[in-house]
Structure 1
Amino acid sequence: MACRISELVIDAEDPDRLAAFWCDVLGYVELAREEDGSVQIGPPDVGFGGAQPTLVFGAGRNPRAGKLPLHFDVNATDRDQDAELARLLALGAVPVDIGQTGGENWHVLADPEGNEFCLLRAQLKAV
């Protein structure tokens, strides 16, 4: 028997703002809101325990200098990479320079709180 990732927990200065951003990026919906200010989001009509992990944005932030040890990679499901990049930028993502040469087939971006993620080239089927 093996484990699988059921949820990812992310500290956030503004859990509502990050939850809204990532709902727009991933097509997720808000699943739960706790008294401590945390917000859980996940796939619509599935919720916790489905094939895709849910995300929990918890109130609180311990700023960390330098590159984070974990980041998300995302792929478009219904458009090409250029169109998805334009959509993500319109949602509030910002480009990040981590020393790319310009020849990479991915884009490094940051969410509204500066958490880095990459938009990869391949288009995937929606789950």
Structure 2
Amino acid sequence: MAFDLQVVVDSTAPHELADWWAEALGWQVEPQDEAFITRMVQAGAASEADTMRHRGALVWSLGAAVTSPEPGRPRVLFQRVPEEKTVKNRLHLDVRVGPERREEEVARLVSLGATELWRGAQGPMSWVTLADPQGNEFCVA
């Protein structure tokens, strides 16, 4: 039996980080159903503390997701945690753009707020490791 996969990234500001990654990848922030959230609060199934306003919309405060415009790609969920990132990721995302676009994409991502950490190569493969605005490492290859 095959299972579906979702990637989850811990974040102290999940909505802002979802916005950043949506722009970085050319994906979209998954819309949240404001009417549903309101009904859940009114019914007592959730509290006002479970919600917040982000870019004028009522959203669940716990997280936000980004999805690809192309079907079949995994959803990436940014989930609120109280602590800042303190150590190197044990898992990271590889953004595969091809060698001909790598430098252009690195420059674009840095202009959006990423930080270049290091460059690596092994055999014919090379990549640039960056950190997103909250310090999560990812590679551009």
TM-score, length-scaled by structure 2: 0.67
Q: Which has the larger radius of gyration?
A: 2
1:43 is aligned, of 65, 68, 73, to 68
- Tell me, yes or no, if structure 1 residue 52 matches structure 2 residue 73: yes
Q: CA deviation at 1:3?
A: 2.4
Which one-letter code corresponds to 2:63 in the other structure? S
Which one-letter code corresponds to 1:111 in the other structure? D
Instruction: Looking at secondary structure, tell me which structure has more helix per residue.
Output: 2
Q: CA deviation at 1:119?
A: 0.7
* Cα distance in 1, alignment partners of residues 74 and 82 from structure 2: 22
Aligned to 1:125: none
Please say if residues 63 and 80 of structure 2, whose CA atoms lie closer than 8 Å, have aligned partners that are also in contact: yes
Q: How large is the RMSD of aligned CA atoms in angstroms?
A: 2.2
Percent of pairs with identical residues = 32
Aligned residues: 111
Superposition pairs for residues 84-99 of structure 1, below 5 Å?
84-97=105-118
* Cα distance in 1, alignment partners of residues 77 and 132 from structure 2: 15
Q: CA deviation at 1:103?
A: 5.3
Aligned to 2:41: none
Superposition pairs for residues 105-120 of structure 1, below 5 Å?
105-120=126-141
Q: CA deviation at 1:62?
A: 3.7
Aligned to 1:3: 3
Please say if residues 85 and 135 of structure 2, whose CA atoms lie closer than 8 Å, have aligned partners that are also in contact: no
Q: CA deviation at 1:64?
A: 5.1
* Cα distance in 1, alignment partners of residues 121 and 60 from structure 2: 46
Runs of 4+ in 1 over 4 A off after TM superposition: none
TM-score, length-scaled by structure 1: 0.74
Instruction: Looking at secondary structure, tell me which structure has more strand per residue.
Output: 2
